[in-house]
Amino acid sequence: MPENEIYVGNWQILDIGLSQDFISTEKTKYNYLTHIDVAPTIKGRSKYSHKGTYGHALLIAGSYGKMGAAVLASKACLRSGTGLLTTHIPKSGIDIVQTSTPETMLSIDRYENYFSEVPDLTMYNSIGIGPGLGKEHQSQMAMKLLIQNSNCPIVFDADAINILAENPTWLAFLPNGSILTPHPKEFQRLAGGWSDDFEKLEKQKNLAQKHGIYIILKGANTSVCFPDGQIFFNSTGNPGMATAGSGDVLTGVITGLLATGYSSGIASILGVYIHGLAGDIAANELGLEALTASDIIKNLGKAFNELY
């Protein structure tokens, strides 16, 4: 927990020969994700597969002045295995996204500067919404329609979470398997304040269980809470990832994994682990201060290769 950092310092877990069989049979709702937990979840690829085999993801992102978030999420989604990606953006972002990520297909909103309408959802296997979205009234009403009409899991991030915080009754209607990825301030808007980080963890667990959703609370040792109350703490990542756009990358990664056929639970824990591992690889090369969200994307391939 963050409040214990000044007492704990640099903590490392060493194998001292305790029985792994005994440890694995002990019942707990708290788990620590390491390489041996995550590596077996990676799916192989069939020689005769094609782009349709790996699903079609939809990202709804970007607004005037924040199209970079749509670019980062789109690039990360494509680097995470999805066969096809469509990104829904306002008209002002066409040249930006089409030039920055030519592999991305575009769905163009009728409005120039922000999200206001839901595209046809029948072709998509996963949906991510929120990076750079803004909170215009039309955007909020369109997101309500998205929740009502989606037949696949939705990943909510950034302003999509802030919109849910302003409309908490919508939480009860989120599609099965939906995932929320708040940072602490966004989670505070959603769940209210807390006196310490242990109470914050309880609020995360209660909200996930109440609404049957997955909640990824970002930060050092990101915690992933399943609808049954199981919590997984991530072991990868570093302080260099505390930089603009890092969360947009995570949204793209998880949305891409969902599209390829991973369950919401596996996409959540694999997504945070891969995201953090790519950040660690980037930090080893560049240092902490110089790391950017784009560096995380560039190293996603190396991160996947380490798990094979």
Please write the tens of the pLDDT for every residue from 254-282: 999 999 999 999 999 999 999 999 999 99
User: How high is the pLDDT of residue 9?
Assistant: 82
User: How high is the pLDDT of residue 142?
Assistant: 98
User: How high is the pLDDT of residue 13?
Assistant: 80
Residues of the chain with pLDDT under 70: none
What the chain holds in terms of domains, given with CATH numbers, is: 27-41+50-307 (3.40.1190.20)
Question: Cα(64)–Cα(193) distance, rounded to whole angstroms?
Answer: 31
- Kindly calculate the radius of gyration of the chain based on its CA atoms and give it in whole angstroms: 19
Q: Which helix (H) or strand (E) holds 97?
A: helix 94-100
Note the pTM of the prediction, 2 decimals.
0.96
* Helix residue ranges per DSSP H, 170-292: 184-191, 197-211, 246-260, 264-286
Q: Do 104 and 86 form a contact (C-beta atoms < 8 A)? A: yes
Q: Which of 39, 43, 49, 99 is nearest to 74 (CA)?
A: 99
User: How high is the pLDDT of residue 129?
Assistant: 98
Q: Do 250 and 208 form a contact (C-beta atoms < 8 A)? A: no
Cβ neighbors of 122 (< 8 A, separation 6 or more) are: none
Per-residue pLDDT tens digits for 91-106 = 999 999 999 999 999 9
